[in-house]
Structure formats: C-alpha cells, structure tokens
Chain A
C-alpha cells in the first residue's frame, strides 16, 4: 500500500486493483453510493458515487485511482447532482417512507437524508406495480425498486440461481423474476439466499416482520449513513 491519492484533500492509501470507493471505505471515508456493495462486483449504474478525479467526472465504484490523483467528492456541485439523481429515483417508483417498513433501514432514504433532499421536486410517475406475494416467506414490493441489480448479482454470482433479472431498457427497465409465471413462488428462491438480504431498499421483504424494530433502534436511527460501517445491509 505505497500509493496514495487525495480525497477532498485527505490522503488515502490504496493497493493495486482497488477502486476509489473501496480505498475510501477502507480509510473510513464516505462517498454516497447505492448500487455498490463491497461484497459484489461493481455495476456502475446509479452514478451516485460520481466524483471528480483530476477534474473529470467518473464513477468511483468502477474507477481505479492513480498515484497522487486529486479526487473531489463532497462538493456542492457534485452533491447537487447527486440530489437530482435521488429525486429522479424517488419519483420513478412509489416511495412512501412514512408507511414503509424499510424506513430507518433503507439506504435510499438514508442517502436522501444525508444529502439533504427536502422534496422529490419532479412530478411523481406513480407507476402501477403490484406486489408479488406468492412466496410463503418473502414478498416483492416492486414499487420501491431502484434497479441497482444487487439481487441479480447476488442470485447469479453467489447463489448460482438467477432468480432475478433486469428487463427492458431506459425508463421501461424493471426487475423481473425468472419463472414462466413471473412469480417468486415458482423459482427456487429461498430465504437463505444471499439475494434475500442485499436489497438496499424495501423490495425483497421477509414476510410478517413489518415494523418489529421500534423507531430509535433501526440502522440509521443510530448513525447517519455516512457514519454507518459496512456491511450496511444486515441480514433480515
């Protein structure tokens, strides 16, 4: 670990093959992110982790640093852009935080708090996305999907199952379940799968748990997301 780069003026050591965000996390620094999870190969889709590296914008979850690189992350310009990305995510789905059981444990909500997003700003899409409650132990509430593909990666790369996939393009892209019926019950999904525990928002939900954890004891009641150590998503 001889090499270093600077992140907002702080010197960050890194080793060969690490990305900027990996080195930052190892050094205890926070760069906002949603589709990145240290346990999985980066996907680089949400763009929330965008930083300026030597003056050029790049996704810090895929970009590897160079010696002496000057990386800016916590700047007004970048945070303003991140806030707009968040607002778009909020209006594309149906995110009703006050009645969502993932409230207080949700990375989308916590990141919005972190970046001081005060309102969704854009018009809500209010898409019609019925839930899939066919599985006896798990429920899929597609209303909250942010298409981070973590469940896709977990099911494919860790569970070896391919239960989930992203389908469609652009604004039409959505999460699907790989079964003829399209229903979770007709897959080999199980609560022991890695995929059951990676969703950063509230799509893949263990049934009948609901609001079992009182306000005050949820993940982000204790610390804001910027001060919450990985792994952020604890097994449900």
Chain B
C-alpha cells in the first residue's frame, strides 16, 4: 500500500514538507512529503546523497593502501570498511585462509566495532525517543536528558562504547583510522598486557550488554501495540550467516529469506554477489536501489542489518545471546518480526553476542600469536563481505599486474536498506501524519523510523529534530504560495 506513495499522481498544488539536515560524513539525507490542503499525504521520499567519489578516487592507487584509505569513506564505521577491503584484497595476495592469529585479531577488531557502534546508536541516538516518547518535550529528548533522568543507563552507554573503542585501539593501533588489517593478515597481535587490560572489564561489559537487551525487550512487552505496528512493513531479508548456519558477523555465505521467513537462497559464495544482486537507479534519488535479480525490482528489494541477521541465522553460538534470540523469536511468533522498532532489540542481542565473542577471543592464546601473514597465488580480483553494524557491506576490487586498482565497487549497508527505509517512512506518514496538522512531534515520528535502521547518516537523522524545517504550499504551476518553517526550538511559524 505504501509503495503507492513513492510518486504522487498529481504533485502540483500539494504542500511540500522537507526535512533536510546538513550534510554529514558519509552522506546527506532529507525527507520530502507532499500534502494537500486537507493534510492528506500524497508522496513521501527519503533521499540520501551517497558519496560515490571514492570508487573513482581509489583507481590507480596501489592495492595495499586501500584498507587504510577506504576508512576515509565513513567516520562512523571505518573499521567495517577497513575489514571488508582487507578481506577482498586477501584474494589478491592469495591468502584464502588466514593464519589463526590473523583471523582472530580481525574478528576481535570487528566485534569491538559492533559493540561500540551498537552502544552509540542505542544509548546516544535512540534511547531518548524510546525512554521519553517520540513526541515528548524536544528539549529533553536527547542524551543529556537521558543522563539527567536515567544516569546509570547513560553512563553504561558511554562505558560500553569506550570499551569497544579500546578493543579497536588494541587491534588496529588507533581508535579511528588504524592499520591493523593488511591484505593477507594483520600487522600485530595482542601483547599480554593488552589482553589483560581488556580482560579486566569484559565480564562487566557482557553483563551490561545483557541488561541493555532486557531494557529493550521490556519496552516491547510493555507496549506491543506500538512496537509491533510502528512503521511496520513486510520485506525480504538478507545477511551472511556462518557456514554452519549460525550468526557470523565476520565471515560466511549469503542467505536470503522472503517476508514469511522462507529461504530464497542459501550458501551463496559472496564472490558471486553480482549474480545475485543488481542495483536500480531512480530518477529522484542519488542512492541506488539494490534488488535480488531473481525477483526483479518490484519484489526483489530486501532489508539488511540486525533485524535481518538475528532472524536469518539458525542459532547464535554464544549462550547468553542465544537465549535472547529465542525470546525474540518467541515474541514475534511464526512470522518473522518486520517492525522497524524490532531493530533496536535485535541490535542489542548482537551487542551482547559481540561482547561474548570478545570474551571468548580474549581467552584464546592465538590472539597473542606471532604468525600474522598468509599468502598464496596472486589473484587480480577479490570480493570482501562483512556484516557491518548496519548490515551487509560489499567491497569488490580488480587490480592490474602493476598492483594498481583498476575497478572498485562498493555496496554499503545503508544502500541495501534504501527501499526498506523509504517503506518505513511512508508507513509512518500514513499512520501518523495523515489528516493532521504537521507538528515537530509528528515529524519526529518519521525520524524515529529512519533512526531504527541506524543508517550511516545516523547522526544526521538524529540531529534532524533540531534542524530548520520547511513546509511549502505550491500552486499548480509549482510556484510557492506560502511557507512554514520550524525554528531551532521547535516552534512553527507561517509566512504568506
């Protein structure tokens, strides 16, 4: 139903509401809504200006530079790009199997990133909406407000994130833009002192992560009506899963399911991703729309990220997260959960899994080993896929005989979720905006839906509530008749 809101039949003479935040590290996002004079919603679009210049920029550069350079792509999850690029370039140096130390160090880095990213997203960006309500007092609806009202929750959020960053620092050398992974392996392992430092805190981190899962779980149980229906739409979903079908965020094979949870494809080697996925271009959006080739553009779009992963795997290998996964599955019943707010719950289950994995790895002596590099027959093409905090991340490179990159293709998590986020925004517009005067609180509902996906412009969409906002009333010729603008304090004033 909401798909019909992609393009209005008669866009002329509709009011245009634009939610337009300033540009961010990885892109720029805005929402446009066309309303008629009865506030009936006719068209809703989420536009994200994706930064694609990188794929050109990297051409002609030596391949060994790429895993470090590619981190410039995104200030939010540089480690994911670092690892996906390294995995792709392992194929160039013929390192199909890494040494145990290298593989485990990279995993440790990745789980550190999952932990810090999920903690940041939940505690800093989303908990204000969830704890205070979507249209609560805007001046309190932020992390400062959380710190005042729920000081322990806020403090744990900060410490969980900090721990994840420390894991990254010890594995990559720096908290941001480190160099730990190199094509063929890693450049360092942990010293005993580094391992012990992390071991000191990890039990606390696991326990706080479990509390965080319970916090979201309780929200769902207390208000199932809201949590199940808010912006909900049915979709296919995809992720990599481990070779044994269990959750594996670092490595595995591609698996996709339809909206009822039936498997569409499974065990797909991601080196062949381009046979599975294509990207559609739409004239109103800079960001492409990926879809499964077998199902076509109409039916083939899918969702990625925590909500997909927790329901796509057969089990989670770590015990505490597995208990939570089962609870989650029991709550949603026979059908998969499609509600965007379920992302938060799934995200916290993953955070717990990451914490447990870090604990496991810290007890494994391989992470202090000194066999760091593997190599084999030189290749000239490689694909690296990783489950980044926000979803499946694909890096694909070709390298010439002089070691220079000749081709680069990236499909980032936020792009996979392009259609899904648009669907969520349209659903919310129908559920909440339809027939109502537009208020800041109502517009925040739109942002809550976008935020659930944790798109890479997450900071942007969060700050959005404070961004100037314009509503335009246009006449049939597209001329502006009046404007309505929202100031920083949320008050709306009209000018004719």
Residues of A within 8 A of B (CB): 96, 98-101, 130-131, 133-134, 139, 141, 205, 207-216
Contacts and interface: CB of A to CB of B under 8 A. Distances in A.
A133 to B, nearest CB: 4
B180 interface: yes
A98 B72 contact: yes
A211 B404 contact: no
Determine chain B's interface SS by DSSP, over half rule: loop
Given A98-B177, A99-B68, A133-B403, A210 B182 contact: yes
Most chain A CB inside 10 Å of its own CB: which residue of B60, B68, B174, B178: B68
A96 B70 CA distance: 12
A214 B62 contact: no
B187 interface: yes
B69 interface: yes
Contacts of B342: none
A99 B180 contact: no
Interface in B52-92: 60-62, 64-65, 67-69, 71-72
A99 B72 contact: yes
7 contacts: A98-B177, A99-B65, A131-B404, A134-B402, A209-B64, A212-B187, A216-B173
B403 A214 contact: no
A130 B65 CA distance: 15
B404 A210 contact: no
Contacts of B179: 211, 214-215
A131 B182 contact: no
Contacts, number: 63
Chain B interface size, as a band, is: 20 to 34
Given A208-B403, A212-B187, A131 B174 contact: no
B60 A130 contact: yes
A216 B179 CA distance: 11
Contacts of A130: 60
B396 interface: no
A213 B64 contact: no
A205 B61 CA distance: 13
A234 to B, nearest CB: 17
A208 B403 CA distance: 8
Given A98-B177, A101-B64, A131-B61, A211 B182 contact: yes
B455 interface: no
Given A130-B60, A131-B61, A216-B173, A211 B68 contact: yes
A141 B61 CA distance: 9
Given A98-B72, A208-B64, 18 more contacts: A99-B69, A99-B71, A99-B177, A100-B65, A101-B64, A131-B61, A131-B62, A133-B62, A205-B62, A207-B403, A210-B182, A211-B179, A212-B182, A212-B187, A214-B173, A214-B180, A215-B174, A216-B188
Contacts of A208: 64, 93, 403
Contacts of B157: none
A211 B178 CA distance: 10
A233 B65 CA distance: 21
